[in-house]
Amino acid sequence: MSKSVEVTIEPDDNYPQQHQPDHDEDGVAVPWDSINPETLRNLISEFVTREWPDTEYSLETKIDQVLKQLRTGQAKIAFDLVSKTCNIIPSR
């Protein structure tokens, strides 16, 4: 029997400063379905390992949950033009 976990992507005012850009994000939304599936999986994997400490949930469970949020429009992928990095952020 598999466990289900609901991972909610929300802004965090207490997030450590080293992870917050020192500029306003000047970027573009990247449609998740336009990204190569292996690349998308790697991007989500990097995101969940960076954003969430170890929990009882597996990496696969976290990846599946973020992918679900991308598919439903709860989250989106943004490419920051200043830092030239991608991030997964809540949709507004």
- Kindly state whether residue 19 falls inside one of the protein's structural domains: no
Domain membership of residue 59 as a residue range: 25-90
53 exposure class (CB count in 10 Å sphere: 0-12, 13-18, 19+) = exposed
Please report, rounded to a whole number, the percentage of residues in the chain having pLDDT higher than 70.
Answer: 72
- Whether 8 is in a domain gets the answer no
Report the pLDDT value the prediction gives residue 56, as an integer from 0 to 100.
84
Q: Work out how many domains the chain is built from and give that number.
A: 1
Predicted pLDDT of residue 31: 96
CATH number of domain containing 50: 1.10.10.610
pLDDT at 55: 76
Q: Say which residue the tokens 């997030």 belong to.
A: 15
- Report residue 26's pLDDT band, with 50, 70 and 90 as the boundaries: low
pTM of the model: 0.70
Report how far residue 57's alpha carbon sits from residue 48's, in angstroms, rounded to the nearest whole number: 11
- Cβ–Cβ under 8 Å, residues 5 and 85: no
pLDDT tens-digit series, residues 52-83:
877 788 999 999 999 999 999 999 999 999 89
Segment 38-51 shows an average pLDDT of 94
Asked if residue 7 belongs to a domain, the reply is no
